[in-house]
Structures are given as structure tokens and as C-alpha cells.
């Protein structure tokens, strides 16, 4: 049985892509069984688990509009560094 402490998370900021990349890294050579399938990991081998893109408000609004989404509401922190957007497909009635 594999212990969860045999992995660690590594976060990398990829400035060119404008994203945080999350990786699950094996601390040792091991075999993990998932859905009855054995998966072998070498020490320091990683799995990319997440890409979290970071956009400025104006850039995100342009991306949403280009994809035919309308921003209904936005919540941000006090500094405006973090936002949550509620979107609706522009072609949908509300």
C-alpha cells in the first residue's frame, strides 16, 4: 500500500504561459494501484495535476467575450489581485 507522504506537491510559476503548474512528485521508486491498475513511479517522477491560469481583469473579460460569454457579476479581494467571475452564455436567456 502506498502512503500519501511518498509524494509531495511542487508548484511552478510559468511566466511565459501565465500560469501556475502543480505537480505531484514521487519521493521514491514505488508502485501505486489505481482502479486495479499498477502504476510505477521512479524517484522524482511527476504528474502534472493542474494548470491555473492568471489573467488581468481586462484580459479575462476579452477572452470571455470572444467565447460568447457575458460576465454577470465579479467578486474580488480588496487589492483586486484575485477575482471570481459569474458568467452566462451570451446567447442564453436569463
DSSP codes joined into one string, 2-29: --GGGEEEEEEEETTTTEEEEEEEESSS
Query: What cell numbers appear for 82 in the block?
Result: 484575485
Residue with cell 502512503: 3
> pLDDT by residue (tens digit) across 37-91?
999 999 999 999 999 988 889 999 999 999 999 999 999 999 988 899 999 998 7
pLDDT tens figures, 6-44: 999 999 999 898 899 999 999 999 999 989 999 999 999
The residue among 37 and 4 whose pLDDT is bigger is 37
Give the 3-state secondary structure of residue 42: coil
Say if pTM beats, i.e. exceeds, 0.85.
Answer: no
Domain ranges (residues) in the chain: 1-54, 56-94
- With a cut of 90, say whether residue 4 has pLDDT above it: no
Amino acid at each position: 500500500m502506498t502512503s500519501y507522504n511518498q509524494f509531495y506537491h511542487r508548484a511552478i510559476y510559468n511566466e511565459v504561459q501565465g500560469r501556475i503548474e502543480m505537480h505531484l512528485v514521487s519521493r521514491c521508486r514505488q508502485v501505486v494501484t489505481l482502479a486495479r491498475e499498477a502504476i510505477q513511479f521512479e524517484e522524482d517522477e511527476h504528474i502534472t495535476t493542474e494548470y491555473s491560469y492568471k489573467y488581468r481583469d481586462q484580459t479575462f473579460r476579452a477572452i470571455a467575450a470572444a467565447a460568447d460569454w457575458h460576465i454577470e457579476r465579479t467578486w474580488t479581494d480588496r487589492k483586486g489581485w484575485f477575482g471570481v467571475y459569474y458568467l452566462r452564455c451570451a446567447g442564453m436567456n436569463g
